[in-house]
Amino acid sequence: MSHRPITEDDLHAYVDGVLEPERQAEVATYLEAHPDIGRRVAGFSEQRELLRTALAPIADEPLPPELSLSRIIERNRQGRSPVWWAIAVVLLVCIGGAGGWVLRGEMPGAPATAGLAALAQEATYSYNVYAPDHVRPVEIRASDSAQLQQWTSSRLQRPVKVPDLATAGYRLMGGRLVATSHGPAAMFMYDDDHGQRLVVLTRPMATDQGAPMTPQANGDVAGFSWADGGMGYCLVGQSPSETLRPIANEVRRQARVI
């Protein structure tokens, strides 16, 4: 028998039956020798059994038709309400000609309303609106990046760091605040020596708060989105995704060391 001390965590793992058999036996022996603790642990076990038995009947109830998964899948496949189509049409008209393809890849699926997919869509919209702009793609230029950082942090009510992508060959052009259906987001724009532009969009996430990095594609704008500690990030551009991935990794690395 080992002489590792029995901890509070061991007692709970004992109650939940998740200890290795050997350790389980050690704890049992310990409880026999310490009847006070033994009683307390027995109380926890009894409580656990009571809860399980009391709640078990809920899982045995027949499912109502609203919870039929095949129905939900079918409805999802058909696309959702016509309202989304109306929104899609309005957006198409607004963005117009060159921007029209944004939604091409989307139909007939419904636009994402939350999570990483929604963030990626917002980043794509920002890219499509601001990246082709040669007059004023950004509101605050890179020369005022301290001001940019301060402004976006205060509006997002979170510390925002402007990523430095010089090692990847991209210079910061500047940034702006953009409106999303989830509140304000910070957009940063970069370009390389060939004039190729990238957009990084970041905002607090209501869902998917710690989601892993996921590839995203909307038409020919592609990139990666992820979330860390409640903040969502999305990097998009028109470069192939294998060149974008290391840049996204770099953005994530820098954001983690705020």
Partner 1 sequence: MNDMLLLVEPLIPALRRYARALVRNHATADDLVQDCLERAVSRWHQRREGDPRPWLFTILHNLAINQFRQSKTRGPHVTIEETSESDFGEDAVQERKLMYQDVLNKLARLPEDLRSILLLVAVEDLSYADAARVLDIPIGTVMSRLSRARERLQQEMEGAANERSGNVVALRSAK
Rounded least distance, CB 9 to partner 1, Å: 5
Cα 170 to Cα 120, 144, 165, 226, 258, distances in angstroms: 20, 17, 5, 20, 20
**Under rule CB under 8 A, residue 93 binds partner 1:** no
Choose, by CB under 8 A, the member of 61, 78, 242, 257 that binds partner 1.
61
Restricting to residues 5-24, which ones interact with partner 1 according to CB under 8 A? 8-9, 12-13, 15-16, 18
Q: What is the DSSP string of 2-52?
A: --PPPPHHHHHHHHTT-S-HHHHHHHHHHHHH-HHHHHHHHHHHHHHHHHH
Rounded least distance, CB 100 to partner 1, Å: 24
**Under rule CB under 8 A, residue 107 binds partner 1:** no
Dihedral of alpha carbons 229, 190, 133, 159, sign: positive
**Under rule CB under 8 A, residue 36 binds partner 1:** no
In the complex with partner 1, the residue whose CB is nearer, 103 or 189, is: 103
* Tokens (6 digits) for 117: 């997919």
Site of interaction with partner 1 (CB under 8 A): 8-9, 12-13, 15-16, 18, 40, 43-44, 47-48, 50-61, 63-64, 66-67, 69-70, 72-73, 76-77, 110, 112, 114-117, 206-212, 214
